[in-house]
C-alpha cells in the first residue's frame, strides 16, 4: 500500500471517529464535583459559561435525571439533556451554570413516591403530600444551598427541570423550596395534587408528557396541570401525541424551552 492511499484511509477513519470524539470532549466540559452530606454522597457535573467570570452573576439550573441513570459513576446522568446546554449558540445566548446531580441507586429516589403494580402489571405511583425528603433529595437540597452561597450565582434566576423520576423530583423540590425557583419544567413526571397549592402561584411551570407513555401515564401530568390551575397557577402543558416515555427528546428540542425558562425571574 502506497503512502498516499494509507493517508486517505487514515483520514476517512478519523472523519468517522470525529463525531464520537467531539461528543466525549463536549461532555468533558461538565466538571466533576461531589457533595457530601454526613454519610451520603451526591456526585454532580457542572458546566460553567464560556469565558466564566466569577465577578459576574449567572443563572443556575439543576437538571434531574431519570431512574435509569442512578448510580455513583458521575457519568450516567449526562445521558439526556447535555446536548442542549452544550450547543454553542445556546451557551452564547444564555450563559448559565448548569448542574446535573446523580441520584444513588435503589432504593433511593429524588422524591418520596411509593410504588404499586395494578392488575394490568402497570406501575402505579403514590405521591406523598408530606414526609421527610429521601437521602438523595436531602443531599440535593444541601448542594443547592451550597451553590446559592456562591457570589457568582444570581439568586433571582434559579431554575430546575427533570425527566421521569427527575420530573417527579422537580415537583418535590418545588414543594420544599417554592421561594427559590424562578421557573421549572417537568417531563413525564407527577406529584400529589395536594402539593400544587404550595408552588402554583410562585413558580411558572412547563409540563411535558407523551400520550403513549406506558411507564409513567400522562394522566399524572394532566392531574398536576389541572391542580395547579385550580390553585391559581398558569402552567404550560405540552402533550406529544406520538411519544412514549422518551418525551424528553422532544421536550429538550423545544425551541422556546430555554427562552421561556430564562425570561422568568424571582
For 75-126, the pLDDT digits (tens) are 999 999 999 999 999 999 999 999 999 999 978 999 999 877 665 556 799 9
Residue 124 in any domain: the answer is yes
Residue 126 in any domain: the answer is yes
Evaluate if residue 218 carries a pLDDT over 80: yes
pLDDT for position 115: 78
Q: Which band of pLDDT confidence, cut at 50, 70 and 90, is reported for residue 22?
A: very low
pLDDT for position 11: 38
Using a 10 angstrom Cβ sphere, with 0-12 exposed, 13-18 middle and 19 or more buried, the burial of residue 38 is: exposed
Residue 9 in any domain: the answer is no
pLDDT tens per residue across span 236-247: 999 999 999 999
The boundaries of the domain holding residue 231 are 29-262
The number of domains in the chain is 1
Which CA distances in Å does 245 have to 99, 165, 173, 205, 226? 23, 11, 22, 20, 21
pLDDT for position 208: 98
Residue 1 in any domain: the answer is no
Using a 10 angstrom Cβ sphere, with 0-12 exposed, 13-18 middle and 19 or more buried, the burial of residue 70 is: buried
CATH number at residue 216: 3.40.50.1820
Amino acid at each position: 500500500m502506497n503512502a498516499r492511499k494509507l493517508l486517505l484511509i487514515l483520514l476517512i477513519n478519523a472523519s468517522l471517529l470525529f463525531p464520537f470524539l467531539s461528543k466525549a470532549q463536549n461532555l468533558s466540559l461538565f466538571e466533576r464535583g461531589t457533595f457530601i452530606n454526613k454519610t451520603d454522597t451526591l456526585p454532580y457535573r457542572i458546566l460553567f459559561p464560556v469565558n466564566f467570570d466569577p465577578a459576574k452573576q449567572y443563572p443556575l439550573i439543576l437538571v434531574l435525571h431519570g431512574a435509569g441513570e442512578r448510580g455513583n459513576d458521575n457519568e450516567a446522568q449526562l445521558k439526556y439533556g447535555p446536548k442542549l446546554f452544550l450547543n454553542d449558540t445556546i451557551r452564547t445566548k444564555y450563559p448559565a451554570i448548569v448542574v446535573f446531580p446523580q441520584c444513588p441507586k435503589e432504593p433511593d429516589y429524588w422524591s418520596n413516591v411509593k410504588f404499586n403494580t395494578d392488575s394490568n402489571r402497570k406501575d402505579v405511583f403514590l405521591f406523598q403530600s408530606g414526609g421527610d425528603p429521601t437521602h438523595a433529595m436531602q443531599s440535593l437540597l444541601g448542594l443547592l444551598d451550597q451553590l446559592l452561597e456562591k457570589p457568582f450565582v444570581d439568586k433571582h434566576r434559579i431554575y430546575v427541570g427533570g425527566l421521569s423520576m427527575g420530573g417527579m423530583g422537580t415537583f418535590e423540590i418545588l414543594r420544599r423550596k417554592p421561594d427559590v425557583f424562578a421557573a421549572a419544567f417537568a417531563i413525564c413526571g407527577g406529584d400529589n395534587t395536594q402539593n400544587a397549592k404550595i408552588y402554583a402561584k410562585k413558580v411558572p411551570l412547563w409540563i411535558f408528557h407523551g400520550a403513549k407513555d406506558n411507564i409513567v401515564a400522562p394522566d399524572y401530568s394532566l392531574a398536576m396541570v389541572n391542580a395547579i390551575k385550580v390553585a391559581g397557577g398558569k402552567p404550560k402543558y405540552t402533550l406529544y401525541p406520538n411519544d412514549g416515555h422518551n418525551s424528553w427528546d422532544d421536550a429538550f428540542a423545544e425551541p422556546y424551552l430555554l427562552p421561556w425558562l430564562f425570561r422568568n425571574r424571582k
